[in-house]
Amino acid sequence: MKLFLASNNAHKAAEFAALAAMCRGPVRPEIQSARAVGGMPAVEENADTFAGNALIKARALRAVLPPDGWALADDSGLCVDALGGAPGVRSARYAGPGASDADNLAKLVDALRNVPATERGAEFGCALALVGPDGAEQVFEGVCRGRLRAEPSGTGGFGYDPLFVPEGETRTFAEMGAAEKNSRSHRARAWAALAAWLETR
């Protein structure tokens, strides 16, 4: 079963490919980048939830897929308690349009400069939207709670991974190997729900 990922982000494609490789059920999904069909169509991610934005992207990609193609879209981000849930759905654009991971990370570090360690709670949230050949839509969600370091640490992962320490850990996601992160991340939890649904097909 081929799932076309509604993203041109190589990091996301690799992470989803690793998650798909862990599936042991009767359905073994194969992740294909949107680049396989000419790239992700331009969309405006203007929903106020991760699920809403994921559906916007999945619907747009499904419209350009072959008749039997499945579109998979991810929308995820970091919600910081001390910032009222920001950056949230604007996580990828926190430092402005076209911002890099480094730009976003630097802005978050600065925004939390005077926030004490006891108030640095946060969670990564993820919504996966799946749109099938018949237009049927499914959404699967996952959350990973944790806390934020004062300064980035680690060289792995991407985005806000160098700041985020999941509950029960002392290391950031960026200090973990990909397999370890994938076993506990918000995306992994949303994927587990999706994989369980696939097993019922």
pTM, entire model: 0.89
Calculate mean pLDDT across residues 151-180. Answer: 93
| C-beta of residue 75 within 8 angstroms of C-beta of residue 57 | yes
Q: Which residue has the tokens 């059920």?
A: 25
pLDDT of residue 27 exceeding 80, the answer is: no
Write down the pLDDT at residue 33.
87
Write the CATH number for 151: 3.90.950.10
Write down the pLDDT at residue 54.
97
Contacts of 122 (CB under 8 A, 6+ apart): 78, 79, 80, 81, 145, 146, 147, 148, 164
Other Cβ atoms closer than 10 A to 15: 23
Looking at the chain, the whole-number percentage of residues with pLDDT higher than 70 is 98
Whether 75 is catalytic is yes
Catalytic residue selected from 75, 101, 103, 134:
75
- Round the average pLDDT of the chain to a whole number and report it: 92
pLDDT of residue 25 exceeding 70, the answer is: no
The number of distinct structural domains making up the chain is 1
Calculate mean pLDDT across residues 52-79. Answer: 95
Q: Which range marks the domain in which residue 91 is found?
A: 2-198
Write down the pLDDT at residue 55.
98
The β-bridge relationship of strands 2-5 and 30-33 is: parallel
